[in-house]
Amino acid sequence: SQTIHQWPATLVQPVGSPLSLECTVEGTSNPNLYWYRQAAGRGLQLLFYSVGIGQISSEVPQNLSASRPQDRQFILSSKKLLLSDSGFYLCAWSYGGADTIYFGEGSWLTVV
């Protein structure tokens, strides 16, 4: 069966510090991978998606970047965090663009 792992689960970072959130998927190959952000416990904002290694599409221009160094690994980064980067970050995967999306357990980021 397929599983998705995301870490760290929670982190508190000072403004201006770097960020790295990592996500791996097991049990499938060549999945679509996604990073979402959820602020204030509400809507899901798609940040990045990837249909293959090295292929990243950005939905919202911002202080963040994503990379896919391996087929089942997706990384969300920032060089300098802003207070507005605080939120709940969710990694997710699907078989295809319109298919069911399976979410990781999420990472709570607080920028102080």
Partner 1 sequence: GQQVMQIPQYQHVQEGEDFTTYCNSSTTLSNIQWYKQRPGGHPVFLIQLVKSGEVKKQKRLTFQFGEAKKNSSLHITATQTTDVGTYFCAGPYSGAGSYQLTFGKGTKLSVIP
Residues near partner 1 (CB under 8 A): 41-44, 46, 49, 51, 57, 90, 94, 96-106
Whichever of 31 and 106 has its CB closer to partner 1, that residue is 106
Distance CA(33)–CA(52), nearest Å, equals 8
CA-based torsion, 94, 100, 101, 105: positive or negative? negative
Minimum CB separation of residue 80 from partner 1 in Å reads 27
> Do 21 and 67 contact (CB within 8 A), yes or no?
no
Minimum CB separation of residue 105 from partner 1 in Å reads 5
Whichever of 17 and 46 has its CB closer to partner 1, that residue is 46
Minimum CB separation of residue 112 from partner 1 in Å reads 20
Cα–Cα distances (Å) from 14 to 18, 80, 110, 112, in that order, read: 9, 9, 8, 5
Minimum CB separation of residue 96 from partner 1 in Å reads 8
Whichever of 17 and 58 has its CB closer to partner 1, that residue is 58
